[in-house]
Chain A
Amino acid sequence: MKITTYLLALLCPALLLTSCKKNNNETTPETKSTFTIEFDNQVNGSPLTLNTTTYKNAKGEDFKINVFKYYVSNIKLSKADGSSYLIPESYFLIDASKTESTNITLKDVPTGDYTKIEYTIGVDYARNFAGAQTGALDPANGMFWTWNSGYIFVKLEGSSPQSTAANNALTFHIGGVVDPNNTIRTFATEINATNPLRIRTDGKPNMHFIVNAAALFTGKTDVSFATLNFTMGGPNSVIVANNYANGLFRLDHIHN
């Protein structure tokens, strides 16, 4: 029994290799490599410092941020010829309090020149309703609502003198996937064709995104903390999601 298992284990890659060889004669080889994305958390151009720094929203109101976490998932890369590659099982939780989480590594991506990247801000519909998950989607990460199943896509907590909530708190837990309060948003950006994302076996490029936390509060609707300082899903979360859909991420540059 054991021996046959080992034999099979040995044979399988061998078979795969021979079949790969065959294909190589006809098409370009399917080589894979790695790239990284750095999420540079900022507030209106200044670095995001939790707990201490005071920032201003678009209405000119002061605020501080204690917690800033968000999901990036279903990362998809496209080439100039229109072909695209969806990175399987790409779920990442970026947490401003954990430096290591702000730099993500994407492995086994087919090599090539990519001219567009898109991803979900949050978690796709299906995974919100799926059974118990692990890794980035582990409910232990504090980004899962236990009373209304589904993930918190973007979580910003802090304070503002303008907030009428207890302790001047700001509580923005954005999530929900059911219409009319669906907050799943997709971010997409073209990559300058003169400097595309060049994934090579000998080159592991890094994409640098600026993430503007203040984008939650401006864009389609300028938010005043006097009137909106708490949301956990529902119509007010939609207002915030519509704000950050376009403003949260900006591709700054690529190191190829």
Chain B
Amino acid sequence: MLALSIALMYACSKNEDEVSQQETKIAFTVPSNFPAPTYNFEDNKLSNTGFALGKKLFYDARLSADKSVSCGSCHQQFAAFTQLDHKVSHGVNNCQGKRNTPPLINLAWQKAFFWDGGVKNIETSPLNAITDACEMGTDIQAIVTFLKATAPYPDMFKQAFGSTEINSQLILKSITQFTAMLVSANSKYDQVMRKENGAVFTTAEQAGYTLFKEKCSSCHAEPFFTDFSYRSNGLDLLSADEGRSHITSVQTDFGKFRVPTLRNIEYTSPYMHDGRFYSLDEVLNHYDSGVKAAENLDASLKNGIPLNSSQKEQIKAFLKTLTDHEFIKNTLFSES
């Protein structure tokens, strides 16, 4: 299927020469049912060596203050790069963060990051985790110092960027070569949409898809299953986390959060910005009968989304077609 997609080309003949014949050149591919990405590697040429370095950094717990936490501790591949079973993120010194770890999927199409959209560039999005006292608890300068003194990093930087220079910019660019490559677009849903391999929805899945388009897609819009807007779905009368207004200082944004993607939702529990729901049943019950009249509740949810039990089962059946097994098991992204 990926053969259908448009491969972005990176003309850097020098690097290509150095890539051995057996090793396949890593390429960023845009799935045919996706629009053009926001991040296109223009100022950060993708290479096998840059990606390998980014991946190593992503999985290296020695970057954190107590050497116990890596990016991969909170962003686990088998959970589509969120943290399984953790309501809110769990970082160094057993510290609990305040928000649920979002999955890292299709970030190259995202214009803003975090539940409140505070971070505007994928390259700078790891900084908060690195410096937050509750996540990795260190500072970027400490990481630079560590990497300069620790083999094989200087060599890996040289291979990736052509110089033994190590600085925050190169660290962030290599990590982005890894995170922006995390494209998930080979779920059953995608195959049905692209009419691949004769994939078809079951009756229940199809009924669920119809319901979903009627009741959920106004916010969880295809193909990313989010329109990337900030909204309140009425979890609380008064949100404990101010959400979007923390960034905009606008009262009408209070308690609003970015509509999350639902891709791989089967594996990304617990759900919501604070991880309050452990199952999709709880989520559907919330929409059916738990929506609170929050100050900035989205107008379309005023009366909730009434769903009978067979409709709930159908929606769940559809949501499970968003699981991308190939992505979750892809060894290209695994800690090796």
Contacts and interface: CB of A to CB of B under 8 A. Distances in A.
Q: Is A bound to B?
A: yes
Interface of A: 128-134, 138-140, 144-150, 178, 181, 233-235
Interface string B167-188: 1110111001000000000000
Pick the 7 closest A-B CB pairs, nearest first. Answer: A132-B172, A131-B123, A146-B128, A234-B249, A148-B118, A146-B127, A134-B169
Contacts of B144: 140
Interface residues of B, number: 31
A131, A132, A134, A140 — which one has the most chain B CB atoms within 10 A of its CB?
Answer: A132
A144 B127 contact: yes
Interface of B: 43-44, 114, 118-125, 127-128, 130-132, 139-141, 144, 167-169, 171-173, 176, 246-249
Contacts, number: 70
Contacts of A146: 119, 124, 127-128, 130-132
B140 A139 contact: yes
B247 A132 contact: no
Given A132-B124, A138-B169, A148-B118, A178 B248 contact: yes
Contacts of A144: 124, 127
Contact of A181 (B114, B120, B173, B249): B249
B249 A134 contact: no
Contact of A147 (B43, B118, B141, B248): B118
A182 to B, nearest CB: 12
B166 to A, nearest CB: 11
B128 A147 contact: yes
Contacts of B167: 134, 138, 140
A132 B248 contact: no
Nearest to B248: A178
A233 B173 contact: no
A134 B168 contact: yes
Contacts of B122: 131
11 contacts: A128-B120, A129-B121, A131-B44, A131-B124, A131-B176, A132-B124, A132-B176, A146-B131, A148-B247, A178-B248, A235-B249
